Structure 1
Amino acid sequence: MISLERLIDALASLLETRGYHITLSATDATALTPRRLLAPDCLLPVLVRMAEEIWKQRAGQISFGLAIEPDGQALCGQRLRAVHHAPLSLIVLCTDQTLQAVADPQGVVTVEGLERHAEALCGATASQPATV
């Protein structure tokens, strides 16, 4: 199992080194720090689930063993509790592919863009959360 703090650190580094800037919408350019955006109750469950879907499309029905549960207080209504079966490097690479697909030429990624991409990428499929 990956430490969520280690995962957040790695993805925050990805955002910073690749120059990605995530905004809440095209009209609201409020700057949120990468660590806040990548909190388990913010965009982390969304990004990791999309990374999992990219990997599934390339490698078959292989799950990251995500433990995601509903949370009415979370930004997207979900909280990531654990990642049981994926190496950190794979999650970072697949997340980078997701962000590349959504980012504009200046590296700006909107939450709406992530949502559209998630719908196209994931469709009706759902990850099977692992028991924690």
Structure 2
Amino acid sequence: MISLERLIDALASLLETRGYQVMLSATDPTVLTPRRLLAPDCLLPVLMRMAEEIWRQRAGQVSFGLAIDPDRNALCGQRLRAVHHAPLSLLILCTDQTLQSVADARNVILFEALEQHANTLCAVPASQPTPV
């Protein structure tokens, strides 16, 4: 299992290195900080679910073992609790591919574009770890 703090650090570094800027809308110039965006109750569960789907499409029936729980106080209504079965490098690569798919020429990512891409990409529910 990957430490969520380690995952958040690596993804924050990806956002900063690539120069991605995530904005609420084209009319709201507020740019959200990478650490806030990547909180387990913010975009992290959505990005991990999208990364899992990208990998599944390329590798077949593969599960990252995402533990995602409903959370009515979370930005997207869900909270990521754990990633059980994927190496950090694969998570970063698949997340980067996701972000490249929705970023414009200036590397700006609008929530609306991210939501549309997520709805298109993720037609099936997220994987869940098998209880022991």
Q: TM-score range by the shorter chain?
A: over 0.9
Does structure 1 retain, via aligned residues, the 8 Å contact 2:64–2:127? no
Unaligned runs of 5+ in 1: none
Shift of 1:26: 1.7
What is the CA distance between 1:24 and its match in structure 2? 1.3
TM-score (norm 1): 0.96
TM-score computed with the length of structure 2 as normaliser: 0.96
Matches within 5 A, 1:56-71: 56-71=56-71
Are 1:30 and 2:25 matched, yes or no? no
Root-mean-square deviation (Å): 1.1
Q: In proportion to residue count, which structure has more strand?
A: 2
CA displacement at 1:25 relative to structure 2: 1.5
Query: Structure 2: 5+ residue runs without aligned partners?
Result: none
Q: Which residue is 2:128 aligned to?
A: 129
Q: Secondary structure at the match of 1:30?
A: strand
Shift of 1:104: 0.3
What amino acid sits opposite 1:66 in the alignment?
L
* Residues 7-62 of structure 1: CA deviation (Å, up to 9, x unaligned): 00000000000010001122212122100000000000000100000000000010
Indicate the SS of the match to 1:24: strand
TM superposition shift of 1:120? 1.1
Match status 1:120 vs 2:120: yes
- CA deviations 1:57-116 (Å, max 9, x no partner) are 000010000000000000000000000000000000000000000000000001111110
In the TM superposition, residue 128 of structure 1 has moved relative to its aligned partner by 2.4
Q: How many residues align?
A: 131
Pairing 1:105–2:105 present: yes
After the TM superposition, which parts of structure 1 deviate over 2 Å for at least 4 consecutive aligned residues? none
| Equivalent residue number for residue 14 of structure 2 | 14
Alpha-carbon separation, structure 1, partners of 2:79 and 2:65? 14
Give percent identity, aligned residues only: 76
